[in-house]
Chain A
Amino acid sequence: MIVLLGVLVVIIGFATRRNPLLVVGVAGIATGLLGGLSPQKVIAAFGDGFASSRAVTIFAITLPVIGLLERYGLQEQARRLITRFAGLTTGRFLALYLLLRQVTAALGLQSVFGHAQTVRPLAAPMAEGATERKNGPLTDKAREKVRSFAASADNVGLFFGEDVFLAVGSILLITGFVNTTYHTHLEPLQLALWAIPTAICALVIHGGRLLRLDRQLERELSAPAAKDGGATSTKGAAKKAPKNSARGTTK
């Protein structure tokens, strides 16, 4: 039971908003020592864990080119492009992104889209541009919301698309674990097929929530201008004046 203290450290750490690196570092050391590892083994575990998980950090390789393109106005152009499609509201655009992400992931193309390569440079500014066209300058709060939902569309699409693909890690983990532990024989195809009902639910539920986002944004962006006067709207407009993404890259 005492090894569960590590879990407690994590929960308390995140709940009290300590620096996550420290929380995880302390939890790792505590759990390792309580679980009977020697200090040397614990340190080695940190090294081994780092070495074998480098793939999650490899997206850094896209940052120089994305940074260069943003310097030359990529986000501005993405915003302008979306305004040419009058029917494409923020919600509809993000729902479309969700569908595209889900379908490509289901075909095994998980790294074609992602937060660094498509959400930050393209999807998020486009989603913002669509709101700006319809409702005028965004407040800080509305901007946060649009960006958060852009990130969520990427995650939901990936998670509930990839399991429909046979050769993905999670499917292979299931068959590998069950077939060796219980000496049975499960086919990846059966598992992938049974991921489809949930995939459809995910598309309907999150897609529906994205479509509802338009109305929420409309309410939020029209209300403060009428209610608490110029304060928020002029602030938003002032920030917007030298072309809205000045914040996006310098803040």
Chain B
Amino acid sequence: MIKAEWFYWLVGAIFLVMAAQMATDRTNPKRFGTAAFWGLLGLGFVYSTWVVDKSAPAEPLGVAVLVMVCLAGFGFTGRGKVRTSTAEERAASADRLGSKIFIPALTIPVVALICAVGVKKLRIGGQPVLQTGSETILGLGIGAVVALAVAMMMMREKKISTPMHAGRSMLEAMGWAMLLPQLLATLGTIFSVSGVGEQVGKITKSVLPDGSVLIAVIVYCAGMFLFTVVMGNGFAAFPVMTAAVGWPVLVEQAHGEPAIILAIGMLCGFCGTLATPMAANFNVVPAALLELKDQYGPIKAQLPTAGALLVCNIVIMYVCAF
């Protein structure tokens, strides 16, 4: 069985190799800080395997995370000079390869698709080939490895260090944004064990007037939206807002249809995800990947849609559920 942890090790190993490249890159004025950041990230990926199955303490990893936060947060990381082809070389190679260059690029989604649909059902000796529940992650990982092999053959690229350097430049360009989604997931956990959710639920209840179903719908939907903006994902907001307003007021008092209220309540949270930098993997990381000057660019493009969809959700819930 191919396990998800193997791919985490592979990602960790890639980070470590890139960290070694960074440490020897004299064009980067902050090469040691940069290498330390990505090296710790790589080690963390591997060590996490034993934290997840509880056979190793989480504290050393926690210290490593806080060190990474300080390294990147206080500006000890930087970027080297990008080693890439010149614009002329790229244009010439695009002439030579033509649309064949899309083959390795499309290999990633195609292999991911095959894994998610076909290989998922495959069993050898009664064991699933891909670890159950991780098929999509594994599909992405396998797709990337296969695509790399195809690309290196097609480009007649013999040195594995070339794609590593190319990928490393993209990592250095992203910098701290790479760690943010995982750090925010941690914040979400800390928020929930510290009882932030209950407090928000209490506040929501206290502003809720009795009687009007429409106002209760608006409070539930807007509450899901705002709480998601603060927490960065709708999953944290859903249990809190549903326990405060969704179930006791909308379902039990007003006799709304639960499936409609809960499904649309969650979608109000997704509107919030479109509007918040806390959802770093959807909004901040892409800004870094696309090398935007304005890290809030994607959010600005999404805000009007998020607002309009929130209104749609309120209308759909009010009209259909009661």
Q: Which residues of A contact B (CB under 8 A)?
A: 1, 3-4, 6-7, 10-11, 14, 19-22, 24-25, 27-28, 31-32, 34-37, 40, 42-78, 80-81, 108-122, 124, 140, 144-145, 147-152, 154-156, 159-160, 163, 169-171, 173-174, 177-178, 181-182, 184, 186-187, 190-195, 197-198, 201-202, 205-206, 209, 242-243, 245-251
Chain B at the A interface: SS class: helix
Knowing A24-B187, A112-B112 are in contact, say whether A182-B180 is a contact too (CB < 8 A): no
B285 touches A28 (CB 8 A): no
A149 touches B166 (CB 8 A): no
In the assembled complex, 12 residue pairs joining A and B whose CB atoms fall closer than 8 Å, in A order, are A4-B199, A21-B72, A24-B180, A51-B49, A65-B167, A68-B167, A72-B85, A109-B117, A111-B137, A115-B290, A152-B298, A181-B247
- A51 CB to nearest chain B CB (Å): 4
B62 touches A46 (CB 8 A): yes
Q: Which residues of B contact A (CB under 8 A)?
A: 4, 7-8, 10-11, 14-15, 44-45, 47-49, 51-52, 57-66, 68-69, 72-74, 82, 84-94, 97-99, 101-102, 104-105, 108-109, 112-113, 116-117, 136-137, 139-141, 143-145, 147-148, 151-152, 155, 157, 162-171, 176, 178-191, 193-196, 199-200, 230, 234-235, 238-239, 242-243, 247, 258-260, 262-264, 266-267, 270, 273-274, 277-278, 280-287, 289-294, 297-298, 300-302, 304-305, 308-309, 312-313, 316, 320
Q: What chain A residues lie within 8 Å of B267 (beta carbons)?
A: 160, 163, 195, 198
B59 touches A148 (CB 8 A): no
A109 touches B101 (CB 8 A): no
Knowing A20-B180, A70-B166 are in contact, say whether A178-B258 is a contact too (CB < 8 A): yes
Closest to B265 in A: A174
**Closest 6 A/B residue pairs (Cβ):** A35-B194, A49-B186, A67-B166, A73-B94, A47-B58, A47-B61
B199 touches A1 (CB 8 A): yes
Q: What chain B residues lie within 8 Å of A121 (beta carbons)?
A: 105
- B286 in complex: contacting residue of A4, A75, A115, A246, CB < 8 Å: A115
A119 touches B309 (CB 8 A): no
Closest to B177 in A: A20
Closest to B261 in A: A194
- A65 in complex: contacting residue of B64, B144, B293, CB < 8 Å: B144
Report Cα–Cα, A170/B235, bound state, in Å: 7
Q: What chain B residues lie within 8 Å of A68 (beta carbons)?
A: 148, 151-152, 155, 157, 162-163, 166-167
- A74 in complex: contacting residue of B47, B63, B101, B108, CB < 8 Å: B101
Chain A at the B interface: SS class: helix
Q: What chain A residues lie within 8 Å of B287 (beta carbons)?
A: 148, 151
B290 touches A45 (CB 8 A): no
B305 touches A205 (CB 8 A): yes
Closest to A75 in B: B90
Report Cα–Cα, A25/B190, bound state, in Å: 11
- B263 in complex: contacting residue of A36, A140, A174, CB < 8 Å: A174
Report Cα–Cα, A50/B108, bound state, in Å: 26
Knowing A1-B199, A35-B193, A144-B293 are in contact, say whether A49-B185 is a contact too (CB < 8 A): yes
Knowing A68-B155, A201-B312 are in contact, say whether A54-B180 is a contact too (CB < 8 A): no
Q: What chain B residues lie within 8 Å of A45 (beta carbons)?
A: 58, 62, 186, 189-190, 193
B234 touches A170 (CB 8 A): yes
Q: What chain A residues lie within 8 Å of B62 (beta carbons)?
A: 42-48, 50
- A51 in complex: contacting residue of B58, B94, B238, B292, CB < 8 Å: B58
Q: What chain A residues lie within 8 Å of B170 (beta carbons)?
A: 63, 66-67
- A77 in complex: contacting residue of B101, B165, B305, CB < 8 Å: B101
Knowing A52-B52, A163-B267 are in contact, say whether A177-B58 is a contact too (CB < 8 A): no
- A60 in complex: contacting residue of B15, B162, B293, CB < 8 Å: B15
Q: What chain B residues lie within 8 Å of A44 (beta carbons)?
A: 57-59, 62
Q: What chain A residues lie within 8 Å of B166 (beta carbons)?
A: 63-64, 66-68, 70-71
| Residue among B68, B112, B144 with max Cβ neighbours from chain A (10 Å) | B144
A65 touches B73 (CB 8 A): no
Knowing A108-B116, A242-B87 are in contact, say whether A250-B66 is a contact too (CB < 8 A): no
Knowing A20-B280, A155-B274 are in contact, say whether A205-B308 is a contact too (CB < 8 A): yes
Closest to A65 in B: B148
Q: What chain A residues lie within 8 Å of B286 (beta carbons)?
A: 115, 119-120, 151, 154-155
Q: What chain B residues lie within 8 Å of A116 (beta carbons)?
A: 289
- B90 in complex: contacting residue of A43, A144, A205, A245, CB < 8 Å: A245
A76 touches B90 (CB 8 A): yes
- B204 CB to nearest chain A CB (Å): 13
| Residue among B72, B186, B297 with max Cβ neighbours from chain A (10 Å) | B186
Report Cα–Cα, A36/B273, bound state, in Å: 29
- A36 in complex: contacting residue of B194, B292, B294, CB < 8 Å: B194
Knowing A19-B176, A68-B148 are in contact, say whether A46-B230 is a contact too (CB < 8 A): no
B11 touches A60 (CB 8 A): yes
Q: What chain B residues lie within 8 Å of A242 (beta carbons)?
A: 86-88
Report Cα–Cα, A25/B168, bound state, in Å: 25
Q: What chain A residues lie within 8 Å of B169 (beta carbons)?
A: 67, 249
A69 touches B101 (CB 8 A): yes
A117 touches B196 (CB 8 A): no
